[in-house]
Structure 1
């Protein structure tokens, strides 16, 4: 459990007036009952440190005309401007600065307020490393300081975002409170969180709670991913051959699109395994240009997969909106420029910027601390300006693709339902009585079509949202997406059976409609 830092700045007229030892202040204030934070702020000003030094505790006197810099630990620092010290000095020229370390579990959260103002100021999250900085100057409560006090929390790049907050008591007898952002601004650098606050209180940095994965679960998920990706490589290669044969037998735009998507997915799973095993062959502290190239290849393959997934949805939308009459000049060439050109452009820009390299993932293991895993991807050491590029290309863009294709999938379900009930508007005049009596037109086949289309449209990527809330969600996401090549293979086999069935039967409007939906 990480320790919590509490920094208190007070004015002391004479150290001879101090009473009690500082080591006992926290426990005595907590045992006293409600509002232990006020008790702690008052008594820490008059306590006496026992011995030469205490872990995480600083006790020194500074000149009020100068700035004060206190570092109770190597990971926490506070900068107090002279204007704040002068306001709190009273009738003396020196100010006593006290810095101490407290466990964050002593701060008990109160239930959320119903008022909008309280909800706006209140912040939820996990206290970063359990570190809480408390700053007080003398016996005067300081607010609206002209120069803010800066509290610095060092980090080792294990978190991306954080928010500076201070502890606000709820005013109840149980001594509970909440974390508020009022009067504080947050600045994050490559190595530090800098909190600039215009008042004095207990301060902390809240980070978003992240689901931690133990080493045992990480190994199980790795095996699932490796096996699933290996199977996907085999089956996507077979699917690519099937689509080539189908295209030679009957050239269709949809078949060409399936070929492009399958090729991109083959590159994705192949590059992923190469990135994993190449880092495994390297020394833990070694990096190479090969890893940079593999990271670029993996990123390019991911972007290409999502680009062609979006184009699959776009093509299906045109089929439904134009009643299966897509006649654009050089239609497939234009789609190819987007499907392959966009990933190439983005990967080239990122490569020139030096984004790619070895990525380090920290795992939770009670027996072996600081357990890590590595992969050739975007380097953990790349500058902060590249975080925006990483977020746009690996989070925002895939999310938009999944959202767009989910809407297209809803439109397909609506059209299929309209055909089944006789209320659809696809095609010209249709003998609905004959359609309903068709043995092949039933709910089971509709469900299979929707399920197959959902994998073609990349909807299983939507399970990524479950990875932030539950461990089973991580397993579901890993299984479905590592086996995407297998599902694409099953879809190609279904298209082969449909193509063979179409060659042995006559066409009518209904068969043309359902066949187009199947192939798309």
Structure 2
């Protein structure tokens, strides 16, 4: 069948130059123009199509006396053939023929695959006999693809020997009107093969919230880590280890997120002029490993954060359930290996199953250095690593953490009747304890799952606001609220104000019965009194 199609296109090409009279035959998907032109009175001919969606005689124009390619801003495709500059063919008329195909279904390529289901107009230009033109110029109006922009293109012709597209003898560039202009040194069936990159849109408000929230969280987490390490001798070792590990993994995630979440290579313009044939109409960037490395570390540290929060909730459950406060002596070693090892295993499995050097988008996204989630139709794909490499394990850990939070809240709300009224915990303190636990267990990420079920702009803002400021919330609840931290801050402020000289003085006036009034003053800073 394919050979039959090629024979059909060759027959149409020969038929277009065999007619001795000027004729135009138009069908819904095909148009054939034949003409006889005197080379003595013409430098070249031009054939144009105005509307690619409708093949009508009124929308097809033929100019038998053209000196150069004239590009119409509304024209879908124009082809100009310049006659040879020599005089050997100037004595007789020359037959020219053009064939216009609305698509390239008759030309089945192996080197170029249409994955976006785009359409390509094929145009054929031919001169009778063995006349070789000076050059052939073709102008194609780029096709508009929804949510995509043109990344690369190649000017090619159909090579009947190779039975595929070839770029030999052709070159291409963009003209001032934005059309793709090709120049070749021979006549045959021409087409421009275009590849596109998908466009991604996101709300600027969310971008601002993310940047500001991550910055203040980085500051808060850094202060929390420093405070926890400096005061580790005055607190239990295990809670310090767990909280510091949570803060460290979350801090690394925020830093990597700010500097590496956007793939700068996807926004760079293509400056290649090699007229290299693209393999598909969907441009897949070559992986330089930079964005993939960021994706690996982002996935690892975010999974590590949830792993450590789950370990934190397990320890809390054991302490609440058991009558003793001491855990197993190997607890620290076990949780250390689990906290940093489990996310490494998940990342290794995800990377090994989905990443390929020639197709990095199987593992990560193009616009952002994060796990791939959508297919080419922008639909959530369960085969992508976003589901089983992140959402599923995090959902299990969030469900467990939520259960522990409920258990902790119920336990806190119970009132022992044997306790005196002065020994009862205030309701506000109970609420703050539950709230601080919800923060450290990353319960706010549940909102993200609700947003996946039903996309909502309000939910997106709330989720972005709470998750990006999680580090700062940990700083408030686990550092600022502690009496030791407030004491350290008071001592530091006192030391600072002590070093600053105070110039004001305090005067005391005393009246004596037998002596004249005396005035005394006291220096506040030095605590020295003198009498005036």
Query: TM-score, normalised to structure 1's length?
Result: 0.48
Query: TM-score, normalised to structure 2's length?
Result: 0.47
* Higher share of residues assigned helix: 1
Higher relative contact order (CA 8 A, sep 6+): 1
